[in-house]
Structure 1
Amino acid sequence: MTTTSALVLLLAPRINETGLQLRTAAGRRGLRAYTATSWQAPPELLDTSVHIYGGPLFGDAVGREFGLGLLEPAADWLTRLPLDLTGRRVSRITLAEARRLRHPAFVKPPVDKVFAARVYPDGVALPGPELLDGDTPALVSEVVRFAVEYRLFVLDGEVRAGSRYAIDDDLSVAPLDQAPDGQAADALAFAGDVLAASSAAAPLPSAVVVDIGRTGDGSWAVVEANAAWASGGYAADPDAVLDVVLRSGGPAAQLPAADRPFLRELPDVVR
């Protein structure tokens, strides 16, 4: 657990429920929590060790000024996992290629939410070239129905916190340890397989969120991986979530060398 009072947790202006929980958790351990009042780096914090929690737009807005190293999984991470972990074939193609699909497929942007992630009846239903360039990357996968889905916060290859977040595609939030019929143990066992595979063929950053689910036929499959500094915690333990968030969205100079390939490319911001 990170306990130094020299850290500042900077929260995005549009603070969500997880942000409120993290602010409380930070206060319990003596960290200063600061909610930004605009989409700019607060000048009074520029000489402090800042860690952030907020969406990609907030990370891009303040990241360079604070020298942040924002960790996110590789855009093609899902495509590099074996089929027995994904439960469906996943490919990374361009949006122009995806528009030529003539069958239903689940299509999502690999990183930022530049278009809606959902099942499209065919490629014609995707955003057209008047909205998004054809070279926009897209992840395309076979359609799989998840009966239940869990979010896991991972630090140094270990699950530190988890929460159920959906049942049959509907929001349904509950702590992981309250899952019925040994489902929590099964989820953690499957997560162990995923993290073991990730340490070899499909590496992940040291702090990350991994979503997994049980499909309609009772098997387990990976849903996706996301940046912890921009992910909702649902009913996961806020103190454990905070540990993962602090690593995932803090000063770049403090990150281990193994995390360098997972740094988000931050834009120059003109004031």
Structure 2
Amino acid sequence: MVDGTTLVFGHRPSGSSRALLKAAADRGIGAVQLTGPEPPADLIGCGAHLYSGLLLADALASALGITLLEAAPGWLADLPEPLRGRDIVLVPIAEAYGLRRPVFVKSPNDKRVRAGLYADGAHLPGPDAVDPETLVLVADPVSFAAEFRLHVLDGAVHAGSQYASNGSLALAPLDGHPHHGAVLGFAREVLAACAATLPSAIVVDVGLTVDAQGTERWAVVEANGAWGSGCYAADPQRALDVVLRASGTAETLSRHDLRFART
């Protein structure tokens, strides 16, 4: 029987999806792995939970009758500067076209504009490819020596993993990591300041920046929906707790979380 205790996988196979699939099976949660972009008829409106990449998430959530939780598009830009560690603004891409300096640009909560470093605004996708009113996050470029994914539940870190080192994929458990204490300490600072601006289940990425003088500083990288984020080397059972909360029926959501429903 397909119901709210079922987890639907719309992700292409990956280490994270396989780990979460096993975690769900170990917990007695039914799992359905989709082989195409549309769920079978018996899944329509079932209210199951979802773990999916962005390309399929909206269509699948609509078909399944569930709500996905995510941070507001401007969440990162609205953080206090000591937490974001660089200048970041949320603007229509038309405004970014006039920039004449290197910038890091990405779409918040979708992939309409490829995330990356652009030499200047003239190198961004033009109005023939993107609606000029499309909102983008524009940030000063920074270098991260190490980056960590934190699965957050009810305003506290529930699971964590390193996922990158000097810009390259480098998976390592947070438990026992040399930066374990520093990561959790910075995370507590971030969540103390802004837990009310996040849903109860979310992924927050943080990293250790290094400037040209070699000065190190912790900063928030971004926040993403747990329903579409890799768990990397984190405890998959604890990551699964966050994924399940981040994708369910509107009737199961708290009044707080309803504010963060993906539209």
Report the TM-score when normalising by structure 2: 0.94
SS of 2:244's partner is: helix
What residue in structure 2 maps to residue 76 of structure 1? 74
1:199 equivalent to 2:195? Answer yes
Which of 181, 184, 188 is equivalent to 2:180? 184
1:209 equivalent to 2:203? Answer yes
- 2:16 alignment partner AA: T
Asked if the contact 2:45/2:65 (under 8 Å) is kept, the reply is: no
Matches within 5 A, 1:23-102: 23-46=21-44, 48-102=46-100
* Aligned-residue offset at 1:49: 4.0
What residue in structure 1 maps to residue 235 of structure 2? 237
Runs (4 or more) in structure 1 with deviation over 4 Å come to none
Identity among equivalent positions (%) equals 47
What residue in structure 1 maps to residue 128 of structure 2? 130
Asked if the contact 1:7/1:48 (under 8 Å) is kept, the reply is: no
Q: In the comparison of the two structures, how many residue pairs are matched? A: 257
Q: CA RMSD in A?
A: 1.4
Query: Where does structure 2 lack aligned partners over 5 or more consecutive residues?
Result: none
Query: Where does structure 1 lack aligned partners over 5 or more consecutive residues?
Result: 266-271
- 1:263 alignment partner AA: A
SS of 1:177's partner is: coil
SS of 2:86's partner is: coil
Matches within 5 A, 1:138-149: 138-149=136-147
* Separation in 1, partners of 2:79, 2:189: 11
What residue in structure 2 maps to residue 173 of structure 1? 171
Which of 253, 258, 261 is equivalent to 1:260? 258
Report the TM-score when normalising by structure 1: 0.91
* Separation in 1, partners of 2:63, 2:167: 39
* Separation in 2, partners of 1:163, 1:212: 10
Asked if the contact 2:4/2:248 (under 8 Å) is kept, the reply is: no
Asked if the contact 1:13/1:38 (under 8 Å) is kept, the reply is: no
Which of 6, 9, 12 is equivalent to 1:11? 9
What residue in structure 1 maps to residue 18 of structure 2? 20
SS of 1:119's partner is: strand
